[in-house]
Amino acid sequence: MFKAIFLQKNEQAEFSASLAQLDESQLPGTGDVLVEISHSTLNFKDGLAICNKSPVVRQWPMVAGIDGAGTVLESAHPKFKAGDEVILNGFGVGETHWGCLAEKAKLKGDWLIKRPAGLSAEHAMAIGTAGYTAMLCVMGLEAHGVKPEQGEILVTGATGGVGTVAIALLSKLGFTVVATSGKPEQSQFLKNLGAAEVLDRKTLSEPGKPLQRERWAGVVDCVGSHTLANACAQTKYGGTVTACGLAQGMDLPSSVAPFILRGVTLKGVDSVMAPLAIREEAWRRLAKDLDLNKLSSLSRVLPLQGAIEAAGQIMAGANTGRVVIKM
């Protein structure tokens, strides 16, 4: 038997989320690696699933949790053996395949990477999909030639999981980071992570002109909608905007002006289905380029039974930084 955050819908389509005791025989037969999960985490998508706020879950019942770190117990996959320390991010886990907010998970070996040396399981889940996405955004900026000497980098939704890790990464790499947030009381926290300046999110969240004063050499946007549109309109000639979130909305009320008049690049960043080689490079970079002391300051650890309440806090916008779940 093992404990898990169990999501169900009955015949009347009534939803429930509970801490349940499940039998190992219930685990999906499609996985070829059995992992004892030591740590998981809560991402925005986990909050949506646990609070039934969006059709994240595609199969019922479901064990929540798109991230996990732990130790291989059994493996039929040639790359892994019992005792290996592994990380799981995405691939539809917690959506179409039972997830990692659980003491055990049966996963496909093709989805797993070996945990890099220097990162504990707790570190890995303090990073989680949010931090790994932040690294993908940084790598996207670098791939398009964005360098510290070219000017400021804007990070939107800065107190969220992606934003906090992005600030820590970019500042350590020598970039001047400007953060936007709707939580003025968290300004000093963001500056401690490495932000040089903190702006009120209202400066970007309302409808704006198609082209505005050039300011940003690059952008990490976690918000979408008008915020993303304004960020593009303020990006310098030849700059790059990485887009990975939809906290404000899925719409993009913009124009082609920044792209055809200033040569701005809008790069989409997907963490769910990213190829294994990119994942491994992102995690290698995280182990090297992320200040683990800052990581400790932006995360808190809860037991599995605290996951449902914490998911509600994420949906209410009442959470800052990362939430690690320890089994």
Single-letter amino acid, residue 265? T
Q: Which CATH number is 2-115+296-326 given?
A: 3.90.180.10
Q: pLDDT, tens digit, for every residue of 8-65?
A: 999 888 999 999 999 999 998 889 999 999 999 998 899 999 999 888 999 999 999 9
The helix/strand/coil state of 323 is strand
Contact 28, 7 (CB under 8 A): no
Q: Is the pTM of this model over 0.85?
A: yes
Q: Over the chain, what is the mean pLDDT?
A: 94
Average pLDDT of the residues in 261-274? 95
Confidence check: pLDDT of 167 > 80: yes
- Residues 215-240: pLDDT tens digits? 999 999 999 999 999 999 999 999 99
CA distance 216 to 167: 15
Q: pLDDT tens, 283-295? A: 999 999 998 888 8
Per-residue pLDDT reduced to its tens digit, 144-162: 999 999 999 999 999 888 9
Strands (DSSP E) found in the chain? 2-9, 15-22, 33-42, 62-63, 67-75, 85-89, 104-107, 112-114, 152-155, 177-181, 195-200, 216-221, 235-243, 265-268, 299-303, 322-326
Q: With 90 as the cut, is the pLDDT of residue 320 above it?
A: no
- DSSP three-state, residue 251: coil
Q: Are 158 and 179 in contact (CB under 8 A)?
A: yes
Per-residue pLDDT, 317: 82
Lowest mean pLDDT among 60-64, 143-147, 279-283, 315-319: 315-319
Read off the tokens for 138: 């940084």
Which pLDDT does position 34 carry in this prediction? 97
pLDDT at 247: 87
CB-based contacts of 125, cutoff 8 Å, min separation 6: 39, 40, 41, 67, 68, 69, 324, 325
Q: What are the residue boundaries of the structural domains of the chain, listed by start? A: 2-115+296-326, 129-268
Strand order in the sheet with 2-9: 15-22, 2-9, 62-63
pLDDT at 319 over 80: no
Q: Given a cut of 90, is residue 105 above it in pLDDT?
A: yes
- 129-268, what's its fold? Rossmann fold (3.40.50)
Burial 90-125 (b: 16+ CB within 10 A, else e): bbebbbebbbbbbbbbbbbbebbbebbeebebbbbb
Contacts of 257 (CB under 8 A, 6+ apart): 210, 211, 233
- Percent of the chain exceeding pLDDT 70 equals 100
